[in-house]
Amino acid sequence: MRLYDFALKNLKGNLYRYVMYYLSNVFTIAVFYIFLNFLFHPRLRSGPLAPSATVHSGAMSGIFICLVIIIIFTVLFIGYATSMFIKSRGKEFGLLSLFGMTNKQIRKYILTEGIIISLVSIISGVLAGMLFSKLFFMAMEAFMDISLPFNVSLTATLLTVIIFLGLFQVVNLLAASKIRNKEIVDNLKTERVPKKMPRYSRIKAALGVILLGLGYITAWIVDGALVIFAMIPVVLIVVLGTYFIFTQFSIVLANKLANNKGLFYNKTNMVAFSQMIFKLKDTAKVLFLSSILGAITFTATETIYSFFTEIPNISGISDMPQDIAILQKGENLYDDESINEAIRILEDEGISIEEFYKVKLINVTNETDKDSEGNGTYILAISNSDYNMLARSAGREMVTVNENEVIYNYPFTTNLFDEVTDIERVYPYEVMELNLNGETKNFKVKGETHGSVTTLIMNYSDLVVLNDNDYKKLMDNATEKDIRIFNGINVDNWKRSYKGSLEIADMLGMKYKNSFYSKVIPYRQMRSFYGFTLFLGFFIAFLFFLATGSIIYFKLFNEIKQDGVEYGILKKIGITKKEMNSMITKQIAVIFFLPFIVSTLHSLFALKSLANLLNAILIKNGLIVMVGYFIFQGIYFLIIRRIFINRICSATGTGVFASI
């Protein structure tokens, strides 16, 4: 029998042991493949990916970041799974070397076995990836509004196979070299050495709390642009703090709990707590890693989700006073037919019109404010009474303009990131010389208002408010080409007006190019872009979520034999199923939810920082994301708990005195 046969036979015989390891390999490879297959999709490179170039480049950079994250994830995860797997078989290798297998042969054996498993994993992984590619493409189609027909990319397939073949061999080699350095006795005893009582250092535990507190306080109070400078030190402090919290403080806390006799001597608590101390010690580093990973996931998801919900604010859509606007000018000036048609289309769609404004504006030249070529700039004149009517509807301040005076209306409330204050003036001049068809008149600028009352239509945005009498005089002088009729429509729920708006745009046609605006159209465009990002974010988050879960799973099940022995003893003494379940639940719950709580806390403070930066309140978003994760984590916990209990039950099912 050659070594190869031996490895293969052993693999066949112990198939159940390899299942978990195999499945996690398949999962990782499938994810990697799906993503590569998407990346190499022919439509993605030649065809138009999204409506505009900015969206395209944004999406591509998003995809690139995802790729990097997935690669890091893959390497870490496969590495971890393999080393855990090899470690869990210490006894087997110990026996082999006891029977005279040389280290070289053992390494060869591990590598042979590794090659077999990796080949099987890669084949199944790629096949699974192909199957689920369609699902992924469908999700992408929905989010990005493009068609992605099913496609299997040869490049992606080859790349996946080569990358994973290499990765598995490197990881296996590393794991095999670890085995060599151990004494046979240690290997044989890996499962039986009684664990020493965990030690801890009070100073380090306190340091952990202090560092964490320091990081949190900084994240909470630092405001505005300082957030960016504070970010890296705060992250470092918090990561270090978390490390000490898990490796030191958790054990201090568990010991404190164990010293509380009232609590400790309460039925199942004694066993549950004391085992927990050991479990915490053993899993501290894993818990630390998974809570940091979790914090990153939470924060990323919350950030993306916040952008998603804040689209109307960020894009300025929420500043628009009317939901739908149509501007009539030139040949369309008397085309009331189209306006009535538009209203009818909306009503046919089941959208009720709440307000409808028709306001005449006059296009005049402001000779005071000259452009670079020395010509005056265009500005739209509105009568004081019309302005107040629109202002009231838009919830803006109403004004009174005397004769020979004007008030300048700047259509934005914010200038890039800063709020426009009342003291700061956008229009710097004291006078405004208005020119209409060669007739000029000087007006005194009484003041200015910020925030538009007419929904922006392309270039026509700045308004000048005139006294009704001055406006009338101006109107007498105006010709058809100077007059603009602004139609503003407010509907009951503008988010539902997408279909109607597209229909109106169709109906109005080229004549109204640049003269029709409906909030919902840019909103939908933004949404599809952020929706795509959100989807990618969730995809990555899902990966991380599964990864952290699996790492904890590996760790738990690696020691299930030891746990089985302990529960076997308890069973002999006489514990009911319910009591055993309660002990197991308490332990697993701590392992599962401790990182969750820490990640949640971290991400809440990170979110507070983000809120400080963006000047927005994002706690609600954070909580929504958190509840979502909590539900997932809860389901995962219940499943793992069930499996664990079943495994323990079968491990302890033997008779009391059968040990002889």
Q: Which residues bind another protein (CB under 8 A)?
A: 194-197, 261-262, 265-271, 274-275, 277-278, 566, 569-579, 655-660
Tell the smallest beta-carbon distance from residue 586 to another protein (Å).
13
Which C-beta is closer to another protein: that of 266 or that of 414? 266
Which C-beta is closer to another protein: that of 172 or that of 269? 269
Tell the smallest beta-carbon distance from residue 263 to another protein (Å).
10
Tell the smallest beta-carbon distance from residue 639 to another protein (Å).
24
- Cα 572 to its chain centre, rounded Å, is 49
What's the CA gap between 282 and 327, in Å, rounded? 70
CB-CB contact of 29 with 127 (8 Å): no
Q: Taking the C-alpha atoms of 305, 311, 312 and 316 in order, what is their torsion angle to the nearest 10 degrees?
A: 150
What's the CA gap between 125 and 544, in Å, rounded? 18
Region for residue 185 given its phi and psi (left: phi exceeds 0; alpha: psi -120 to 50; beta: otherwise): alpha
Tell the smallest beta-carbon distance from residue 566 to another protein (Å).
6
Which C-beta is closer to another protein: that of 423 or that of 660? 660
Tell the smallest beta-carbon distance from residue 565 to another protein (Å).
9
Which residues sit opposite 410 in a β-bridge? 450
Tell the smallest beta-carbon distance from residue 552 to another protein (Å).
20
Cβ contacts of 170 within 8 Å, gap of 6 or more: none
- Cα 337 to its chain centre, rounded Å, is 47
Which C-beta is closer to another protein: that of 262 or that of 438? 262
Tell the smallest beta-carbon distance from residue 562 to another protein (Å).
9
Tell the smallest beta-carbon distance from residue 268 to another protein (Å).
7
Cβ contacts of 95 within 8 Å, gap of 6 or more: 188
Radius of gyration of the chain (CA): 34
- Cα 305 to its chain centre, rounded Å, is 6
CB atoms within 10 A of CB 631: 10
Cβ contacts of 374 within 8 Å, gap of 6 or more: none
Which C-beta is closer to another protein: that of 33 or that of 278? 278
- Return the structure tokens found at 198: 């965990």
CB-CB contact of 309 with 279 (8 Å): no
Q: Is 653 helix (H, G, I), strand (E, B) or coil?
A: coil
Hunting for tokens 């495994």 — which residue is that? Answer: 647
Which C-beta is closer to another protein: that of 428 or that of 574? 574
Alpha-helical regions (H) of 40-102: 42-45, 53-87, 90-98
Alpha-helical regions (H) of 152-268: 154-180, 184-189, 202-221, 226-244, 250-259, 261-264
- Return the structure tokens found at 129: 């990836």
- Cα 41 to its chain centre, rounded Å, is 24
Tell the smallest beta-carbon distance from residue 285 to another protein (Å).
20
Hunting for tokens 């300048």 — which residue is that? Answer: 408
DSSP assignment of 123-178 equals HHHHHHHHHHHHHHHHHHHHHHT--------HHHHHHHHHHHHHHHHHHHHHHHHH
Which C-beta is closer to another protein: that of 192 or that of 358? 192
Tell the smallest beta-carbon distance from residue 192 to another protein (Å).
10
Region for residue 412 given its phi and psi (left: phi exceeds 0; alpha: psi -120 to 50; beta: otherwise): beta
What's the CA gap between 606 and 80, in Å, rounded? 28
CB-CB contact of 382 with 465 (8 Å): yes
Which C-beta is closer to another protein: that of 194 or that of 395? 194
- Return the structure tokens found at 480: 């058809």
Upper half-sphere CA count for residue 116 (Cβ side, 13 Å): 17
What's the CA gap between 111 and 169, in Å, rounded? 7
Which C-beta is closer to another protein: that of 324 or that of 575? 575
Tell the smallest beta-carbon distance from residue 193 to another protein (Å).
9
Tell the smallest beta-carbon distance from residue 278 to another protein (Å).
5
Which C-beta is closer to another protein: that of 13 or that of 262? 262
CB atoms within 10 A of CB 573: 7
Tell the smallest beta-carbon distance from residue 283 to another protein (Å).
14
Which C-beta is closer to another protein: that of 56 or that of 561? 561
What are the Cα distances from residue 527, in Å, to 305, 312, 502?
Answer: 11, 9, 16
Which C-beta is closer to another protein: that of 173 or that of 193? 193
CB-CB contact of 557 with 591 (8 Å): no
Which C-beta is closer to another protein: that of 510 or that of 658? 658
Which C-beta is closer to another protein: that of 110 or that of 284? 284
Which C-beta is closer to another protein: that of 438 or that of 574? 574
Tell the smallest beta-carbon distance from residue 114 to another protein (Å).
33
Tell the smallest beta-carbon distance from residue 237 to another protein (Å).
34
Which C-beta is closer to another protein: that of 459 or that of 576? 576
- Return the structure tokens found at 331: 């040949």
Tell the smallest beta-carbon distance from residue 236 to another protein (Å).
35
